[in-house]
Structure 1
Amino acid sequence: MDIKTVGMISSYSNIDKRGDWLWQQTPNHFGIWGNIKIQASAPNPDFMLMYQFDFPKKNQPQSWLDKLRRKSQKPEIDVGSRLRGVPKERVIYLLREPPLDEVVEKNKRYYQAAENYCGYISGPDDFAPFPDYMPAIWYIGNSFRELNEMPIPEKVAPCSWITSGINRTANHRQRLQFLESLQNNEIKFDLYGRNLPAWSKSSGELGGKWHGIAPYYYNLAIENYADNSWYVSEKLWDALLAWCLPIYYGGSAADKLLPPGSFLRLPSLDEKGIAYIQEVTSTPDAWYAAKDAIAEARQIILHKLNLLNWLSEFVAKSS
């Protein structure tokens, strides 16, 4: 088989320089999945993935003061040189951040800029050139083989939530308000995450998400955005891969991608939602009833929704 190499660039600083990006999402060595090899830093890749790449804003100085300020700024990124000679029809742009009101115009600008470099441009919103769900990546550190073959981990606690204290948008602030309401109503769950407010009674930041999900029957998977039929994130994949039954707040994309019964729908981020969480997590009955659906969902995530599988299928259609 002729294996094509896929390079990658991203504005996510934690992955942009990683030579082994996504290698844990395949049972093979060195990022090989079928007809592709994901090697982010490959000097001469056959295809290039621009993964949430934030195109720089064009500087257009109009006065001497603008010009002076421009000299003190960092030099503009030469986007073309970062694509390493890959032809436009083999460059893929995937935007993965949700279309929150505060960033919609910026996302539209990225799509417009991508048209100069990319043959395929997609994102989880209706104004993307090719609207589509985000192919799955996950943030639990277990290998593909382990996730694919493992028995159900021991479940010893009712419910967890891994979130952050980010409050820069209205949706983020709504989520923090719901967190505060849950705790004020003494709903029993363990909270983990970064930069959470002092009042949040957090158990701290995790070095590995697995430790904050796998021992639990239920996991609160609450998206930053729930208002379209495209956006779904790793919050759902991580919970299911750890054999949790997610209590999910998000859009309808999950219903299209996963089998019925593999997750529960949180009705709202208010008193009704609080009562629902309290009722479900009071016993493990719902988890036991969902075990078979969770098992099916895990296989779909690992083998079908996996970003590596998506890239493999894209390359096959393009060759």
Structure 2
Amino acid sequence: MNIKKIGMLTSYRHIAKRTDWLWQQTPQQFGSWRNIQIDAQAEKPDFLLLYQFDFPKNNKQSSWIDKLRRKPQNLETDVKSLLRDVPKERIIYLLREPPLEEIVENNKNNYQVAQQYCGYISGPDDFAPHPGYMPAIWYHNNAFRELNEMPVPEKVFPCSWITSGISRTANHRRRLKFIELLQASEVKFHLYGRGLPTWAKSSGELGNKWHGMAPYYYNLSIENYADNDWYVSEKLWDALLAWCLPIYYGGPAADKLLPPGSFLRLPTLDEKGVAYIQEVTATPDFWYAAKDAIAEARQIILHKLNLLNWLSEFVSQ
């Protein structure tokens, strides 16, 4: 089989220089999946994935370009120098940030500029050249084979929520308000995350999300955006892969991707939502009823929705 090597370029600083990005999402060595190998830093890849890559605006240098270049250059020169001589038809642009009001113009700028350099452009919104669901990535450190073959981990606590203290958009602030509301109630749950405000009774930050999900029957999986038919994020994948039953707040995309009964719908982020969480988490009965659906959803995430599988199918076209 002719294995195609796929490089990656991103504006996410925490993964921008990682050679082994996504290698934990395949049972094979060195990021191989069927007919592809993901090698983010490959110098001469066959395909190049631009994964949430923020292009400079208005032909001016942006912060990430300033750090890559000592002397300012024009936009076209800067971008082309990063594309590793991969032809346009083999450059894939996947945007994964939701079209929040505060960043929607930035997303549109990325789509517009990407058309100069990329043969395929997609994102989770209606104004993307190819609107589409985000292929699945997850944030557990477990090996693929372990996730694929493992039995249900021991469940000892009712519910967890892993989130952050980000407050830069109205949707983020709404989520923080819901933390306050939930903690003022009688709902028993453990809160984890980075940058949470001091008033939030947090159990701390986690180096591996598995530790804040696997021991719990339920996980609050609350998206930053729930207003279109495309957006669904790793919050749902992470919970299901840890054998949690997600109590999910998000748009309808999840219903089209996952089997019925594999997650519960949180109706609102207000008192009604608190009452629903309290009812569900008071007993593990909902989890036991959903156990088979969770098992089915996990296999769909691992083998079908997996970004590596998406890339493999793209290359095969």
Aligned residues with identical type, % of pairs: 78
Higher deviation after alignment, 186-195 or 155-164 = 186-195
When residues 19 and 28 of structure 1 are mapped into structure 2, their CA distance, relative to the original with a 3 A threshold, is: same
Q: RMSD across aligned C-alpha pairs, in angstroms?
A: 1.4
Residue 59 of structure 1: how far off its partner (Å): 4.4
Aligned to 1:109: 109
2:292 is aligned to 292
Contact 2:95-2:124 within 8 A present in 1 as well: yes
| Mapping of residues 170-319 of structure 1, within 5 Å | 170-317=170-317
In structure 2, the CA distance between the partners of 1:89 and 1:184, relative to structure 1 (3 Å rule), is same
SS at 1:15 equivalent: coil
Does residue 1:122 correspond to 2:122, yes or no? yes
Secondary structure, counterpart of 1:202 in structure 2: coil
Q: 2:81 — aligned with what?
A: 81
Distance in 2, Cα, partners of 1:99 & 1:186: 34
Aligned twin of 1:65: none
Q: Closer, same or farther in 2 for the Cα pair 1:186/1:74, shift >3 Å?
A: farther
Counterpart residue type for residue 228 of structure 1: N
The structural deviation recorded for 1:296 is 0.1
CA contact (8 A) 2:206 2:212 kept: yes
Q: Cα deviations across residues 120-172 of structure 1 (Å, max 9, x unaligned)? A: 00000000000000000000111100000000000000000000000000000
CA distance in 1, matches of 2:28, 2:170: 42
Q: Provide the TM-score with structure 1 as the length reference.
A: 0.94
Secondary structure class of the residue paired with 1:159: strand
Contact 2:161 2:189 in 1 (8 A): yes
> How far apart, in 2, do the equivalents of 1:110 and 1:195 lie?
28
Q: 2:49 corresponds to which residue?
A: 49
Corresponding pairs, count: 307
Following the alignment from structure 2 to structure 1, what is the Cα–Cα distance between the partners of residues 113 and 249? 32
Residue aligning to 1:15: 15
How far apart are residue 79 of structure 1 and its match? 1.1
- Provide the rounded CA distance (Å) in 2 between the counterparts of 1:14 and 1:47: 22
Q: Matches of 2:104 and 2:228 in 1, distance apart?
A: 13
Q: Which residue of 2 aligns with 1:64?
A: none
Which consecutive residues of structure 2, in runs of 5 or more, have no partner in the other structure? 62-69
What residue in structure 2 maps to residue 70 of structure 1?
none
- Counterpart in 2 of 1:134? 134
**Structure 1 residues 121, 59: closer, same or farther in 2, change over 3 A?**
closer
SS at match of 1:219: strand
**CA distance in 2: counterparts of 1:191 and 1:252, whole angstroms:** 26
- In the aligned structure 2, how far is the partner of 1:185 from the partner of 1:305? 36
- What is the rounded CA distance, in whole Å, between the counterparts of 1:216 and 1:202 in structure 2? 16
> SS at the partner of 2:191?
strand
The alpha carbon displacement at 1:16 in A equals 1.0
Counterpart of 1:90, as a letter, is R
When structure 1 is superposed on structure 2, of 137-146 and 76-85 the one drifting more is 76-85
CA distance in 2, matches of 1:266, 1:232: 14
- Cα displacement (A) at 1:254: 0.2
* CA distance in 1: counterparts of 2:71 and 2:11, whole angstroms: 15
Distance in 2 (CA, whole Å) between partners of 1:117 and 1:295 is 40
Q: CA deviation at 1:74?
A: 7.3
C-alpha contact 2:186 2:278 (8 A) present in aligned 1:
no
Matching residue of 2:90: 90
Q: Distance in 2 between matches of 1:33 and 1:81?
A: 28
Shift of 1:186: 2.9
Divergent runs of 4+, >3 A: 73-77
Please list every run of 5 or more consecutive structure 1 residues that lacks an aligned counterpart in the other structure. Answer: 62-72
For each residue in 1:282-319, what CA deviation from the matched residue of structure 2 results, as whole angstroms up to 9, or x when unmatched?
000000000000000000000000000000000000xx
Counterpart AA for 1:11 = S
